[in-house]
Amino acid sequence: MSYTRLFKQDVTIQAILYILQKMGGVCDIHKCHKILYFSDNEHLSRFGRSITGDSYIKMEWGPVPTCVYDLLKAVRGDSYFAAQVENIRKNMFHFVNQKDIQSTSAPDMDYLSQSEVDILDKYISQFKDLTFQQVSELSHGFAWSNTKRYGEISVRDRLTELGDNDGYIEFIEEQLKAEEAFA
């Protein structure tokens, strides 16, 4: 089940800016996606909510956040909605080529909780010096493997990969359904 109505665009933009800041101002889109994926999964497992609220799709090089990818394609100019994100492109971040994102401002830390920052830091540190191939291999775990190509990676599989039990996973799934009903 897709929970894209739970996507938190403002928080996500600040999380991307935070990643960019910690990566020296520039990060490739692939690495940014994987930092968000692992951070979202761990935050969902530990605190019952993800950072971005995004859904993830299985693609060849690993999980890709659907709304984040759409947003970044628009910022890159590869989307019908490119004109709608001009403010982001001018005032927050832009692409320096087809794969590298560069920040133009610092993150507004009021959008990110301490738990979100701590988990983002963990995965930024883990992935910062890894190659494209190493990052891809790390993201090809149970959840990715258990999903058909271009299919949505289920919350159940994402949490199972982290070792959460069925009862807890069912609780999280019910929470997400309830949140989506009110979104």
Shortest CA distance to 157 belongs to which of 58, 66, 10, 73?
Answer: 58
pTM of the model: 0.94
pLDDT at 77: 87
* pLDDT at residue 3 is higher than 60: no
Domain boundaries, the chain: 4-173
SS3 content of the chain, % helix, strand, coil (to 5): 60, 10, 30
User: Could you tell me the pLDDT band of residue 1, with boundaries at 50, 70 and 90?
Assistant: low
* In the predicted structure, residue 34 carries a pLDDT above the cut 70: yes
